[in-house]
Structure 1
Amino acid sequence: MGYKTILVHVDEAPHAPARVLMAAELALQHGAHVIGVALTGVSRFLYHNEMVDDDDPNLAQHLDVLRERARGALADFAPQLRALGLHSFEERVLDDEPGAGLALVARHADLAIVGQAVPDQRGTGPSAFPAEVLTESGCPVLVVPHTARPRGSISVTPSGIASPGAPAPGRHVLIAWNASKEAARAVREALPLLARAEQVTLAIVDADLRPAAFGDTPGEDVLAWLGRHGIEADVVMSQTPRQGLLKRPGDVGEALLALAEERGGDLIVLGAYGHSRFRETLLGGVTRTVLETMTVPVLMAH
């Protein structure tokens, strides 16, 4: 099974074209339909609660400006996909906040592609929406670093493998395995990408802290599980520095990012802890660290 419906968030950010290019490559590989969504930022709850009066000329003018900006963000979406040879796609302009609007559409998708928060805006308002999409949609989310830029053009072989140098991730996948149900869910959602990967690494950090969960040979059952899908993987064990008098473990998120860089990983698969009321309690510490400092795309499931 592959991804048959791919949602991509389109806005005015410099790395938005890279997201669209990534969605196109994955769609070509999996024979998928792509939905490009731009949002005005006006919460749908204002309409539901009748707090917005479309007859107010000042408000109507403001809404027109917001909708025009959203349509402008989508201006290159269809031409870009057609030029890449993709013909199954649609575009939508929604009156909603980014997180809430994308989460609703993503409930009917196999994969949602969004951008990393802009560094100087993390944790407040729209910048936190990747967490909201993840926790509210039930859909795996592929987060693209804000440093990503589209490069080159996509070429796909008859077998559906993209040419080297294309920006979509998945040639060397690093799985962050902590033996949790979230990690298991992330691996299941990543199977279509793992099946196409040239190399898969199962990264296990601080296994000694949860011996009952990992078992006598950490990663052994995961390797067997992946093997039945025809996916070969290797295991890398590491331990964070133990700090202070209580010998507390170090930052696992930093350890995962360092390992991905060291081994040339171009995609991290991560099970994310979190809560539905993400504005009050954002995602767990490891997930937050990875989202804030990532330099490669991260596929997350919750």
Structure 2
Amino acid sequence: MALKDILLQLTSYPRRTPKNVITAAAELATLFEARLSGAVCRIEMPDPSNFMARKLTDITQVIAVENDKSWAAADALIEEFRATATESGQTADTILLPCRATLQSTELIRHARLHDLTIMPMSADAATQFTAQDLIFGSGRPVLLMPENVRPLPSLEIVVVAWDGSRAASRAVADALPFLRRSRIVRLVTVTGEKPLGPGSTIDALRDHLSLHGISAIPDTEAADGSGAGEALVRYCGQHGADLLVMGAYGHSRVRDFIAGGATKSLLATTPLPVLLSH
């Protein structure tokens, strides 16, 4: 798969997407010679239908003021996104998402399905994590979680691939091929002692498979040592100076929705480096 169409999720209000994340996304798109589009959520708070609430608190005026702030913030973010993209040689497209109170995952997912990759800036708030979870399990496309402190032009020197032989891990490897081809060092790691591993988890076979794509990889293991797989992978990435972690997103269905598994949930909550997730 080639990366030719990248979507960046942008939030303008109340928490603004940091400029360094926009810069990193623009430079990544330039690296892959891909189009970059920014999906901007413009929050519009609905007017309550309760007459007494409007009468007693003048809530209509309060909401109008907040909506004006939101629209102004969205317009300013669009201008910053376009200017940053231009600096990186990009002609940026923008997609304005109508949102009520918070970002609507369904709108973002609809656009993500028509892009090769969606970049999701991450923060500690629960709303962002829920949106990322919906995007990962609902879009059918890989999602790149980008921490707020990411460096401009994120390096792809050292990439770690988490491997357990599962369907999700296999999907992640396929989606990550454009990144792996550009990296200098690829490390394949299986976390041991955390869960039973099936016969498909043979890491040497994955190394041989990648070699046919011209990718030289180093197989390795990391003991869980009582921690979860997510914590073990972050620890391993830190020890080896990884610039990107690639892994399958795991979850189980619940009334048509997906609930993130332990490792995925851990990385949604704390993302110390860019993480490419596929489901």
2:74 to 57, 70, 73: 70
For residues 230 and 273 of structure 1, do their structure 2 counterparts lie closer, same or farther at Cα, with a shift above 3 Å needed?
same
Alignment identity in percent? 30
Partner-residue secondary structure (3-state), 1:264 = coil
Higher strand share: 2
Tell me the equivalent position of 2:209. Answer: 225
Partner-residue secondary structure (3-state), 2:118 = strand
1:198-237 residue pairs with structure 2 within 5 A? Answer: 198-206=184-192, 210-214=196-200, 218-237=202-221
1:179 to 153, 157, 165: 165
* TM-score (norm: length of structure 2): 0.83
Q: Deviations over 1:7-33 (max 9, x none)?
A: 001224465322222222222122211
1:12-161 residue pairs with structure 2 within 5 A? Answer: 12=12, 13=15, 16-41=18-43, 63-87=67-91, 89-96=92-99, 97-118=103-124, 121-122=125-126, 125-148=127-150, 150=152
Q: Deviations over 1:181-236 (max 9, x none)?
A: 00000111010000100100001111795354246xx3111111111110110011
Partner-residue secondary structure (3-state), 1:72 = helix
Q: Distance in 2 between matches of 1:41 and 1:213?
A: 48
* TM-score (norm: length of structure 1): 0.77
* Residue segments in structure 2 that go unaligned for 5+ positions in a row: 50-59
Cα pair 1:194 1:200 within 8 Å, conserved: yes
Code of the residue aligned with 2:35 in structure 1: it is H
In the TM superposition, residue 277 of structure 1 has moved relative to its aligned partner by 6.2
Cα pair 2:144 2:277 within 8 Å, conserved: yes
For residues 185 and 84 of structure 1, do their structure 2 counterparts lie closer, same or farther at Cα, with a shift above 3 Å needed?
same
Tell me the equivalent position of 2:224. Answer: 240
Cα RMSD after superposing both structures? 2.7
Q: Deviations over 1:255-279 (max 9, x none)?
A: 1100000001010001001256699
Cα pair 1:11 1:74 within 8 Å, conserved: no
1:250-269 residue pairs with structure 2 within 5 A? Answer: 250-269=227-246
* Residue segments in structure 1 that go unaligned for 5+ positions in a row: 52-56, 151-166, 242-248
For residues 70 and 276 of structure 1, do their structure 2 counterparts lie closer, same or farther at Cα, with a shift above 3 Å needed?
farther
Q: Distance in 1 between matches of 2:253 and 2:107?
A: 15
For residues 281 and 33 of structure 1, do their structure 2 counterparts lie closer, same or farther at Cα, with a shift above 3 Å needed?
closer
